[in-house]
């Protein structure tokens, strides 16, 4: 049996998304996703709201901006604030038992990318690297992440980075079933990436969300 996992998506709690948690849950069911990790920017509020609707489907995650780059965390128990040193963020996540990946680490077109020396410094401390992000506008960014993961013997995660419902599930991680974070760690090296890059136009959905919120 293989599960299809969305490991990176957003709700309206992120400033650049308008997706309501209930709508995300409904879309995930329609798209036959077995688990969805909701990873709003620096918040777990949207993920908790979605998990209340479907506790089995939704895994609480968070995309956290550190001083060095963005961290992607799954099975988050308590919200981690942004703006800390990466090592401090990782320490907090470790204390609560979260699974730690790294968001689109080489994507120079987005905030949160990592300088190589900073990424190498945390490599021994994370569980995985996001080796495929459907929102990367150049495939080379994902290829760099894949190369980095191989060189450091790290498994990969993959996600659509959906900010709109039509993007959800564009990229998926295919894994054996798991019931908790420990089992995810035990099966992650068997995972396979399935998906394709989104059109660059998807970024307009994010910009529209930001503008709409600013205009009220």
Q: Please state, in angstroms and rounded to a whole number, the distance separating the CA atoms of residues 28 and 53.
A: 12
Say if residue 122's pLDDT is above 90. Answer: yes
Average pLDDT, the chain: 97
* Mean pLDDT along residues 100-129: 96
Q: Please state, in angstroms and rounded to a whole number, the distance separating the CA atoms of residues 135 and 204.
A: 12
Q: Please state, in angstroms and rounded to a whole number, the distance separating the CA atoms of residues 153 and 149.
A: 6
* Mean pLDDT along residues 55-64: 98
Percentage helix, strand, coil, to 5, in the chain?
35, 20, 40
161, 155 Cβ separation under 8 angstroms: no
How many CB atoms are closer than 10 A to CB 160?
27
Say if residue 216's pLDDT is above 90. Answer: no
Task: Indicate the range of 150-159, 177-186, 197-206 predicted with least confidence.
Answer: 197-206
Nearest of 106, 72, 75 to residue 90 by alpha carbon: 72
State the pTM of this model: 0.97
How many CB atoms are closer than 10 A to CB 81?
12
Phi and psi torsions of 113, nearest 5°: -75, 165
Q: What is the DSSP letter of 74?
A: E
Say if residue 111's pLDDT is above 90. Answer: no
Position 30 scores a pLDDT of: 98
192, 56 Cβ separation under 8 angstroms: no
* Mean pLDDT along residues 56-63: 98
Q: Please state, in angstroms and rounded to a whole number, the distance separating the CA atoms of residues 28 and 43.
A: 20
Say if residue 132's pLDDT is above 90. Answer: yes
Distances (CA, A) of 203 to 54, 66, 82, 109, 156: 28, 22, 23, 11, 24
What's the longest Cα–Cα distance across the chain? 47
Boundaries of every domain in the chain: 3-215
Position 178 scores a pLDDT of: 98
Homologous superfamily assigned to 3-215 = Metal-dependent hydrolases (3.20.20.140)
* Mean pLDDT along residues 175-200: 96
5, 193 Cβ separation under 8 angstroms: no
């Amino acid at each position: 049996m293989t599960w299809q996992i969305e490991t990176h998506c957003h709700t309206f709690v992120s400033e650049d998304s308008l997706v309501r948690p209930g709508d995300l849950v409904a879309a995930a069911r329609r798209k036959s996703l077995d688990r969805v990790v909701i990873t709003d920017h620096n918040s777990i509020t949207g993920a908790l709201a979605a998990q209340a609707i479907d506790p089995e489907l939704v895994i609480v995650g968070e995309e956290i901006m550190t001083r060095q780059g963005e961290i992607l965390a799954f099975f988050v128990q308590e919200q981690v604030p942004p703006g800390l040193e990466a090592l401090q963020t990782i320490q907090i996540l470790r204390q609560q038992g979260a699974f730690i990946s790294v968001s689109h680490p080489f994507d120079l077109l987005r905030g949160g990318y990592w300088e190589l020396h900073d990424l190498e410094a945390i490599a021994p401390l994370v569980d995985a690297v996001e080796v495929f992000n459907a929102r990367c506008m150049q495939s080379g960014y994902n290829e760099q992440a894949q190369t980095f993961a191989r060189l450091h013997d790290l498994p990969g995660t993959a996600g659509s980075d959906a900010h709109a419902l039509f993007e959800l599930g564009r990229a998926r991680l295919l894994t054996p079933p798991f019931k908790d974070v420990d089992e995810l760690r035990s099966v992650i090296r068997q995972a396979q990436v399935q998906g394709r890059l989104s059109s660059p136009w998807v970024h307009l959905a994010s910009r529209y969300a930001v503008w709409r919120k600013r205009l009220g």
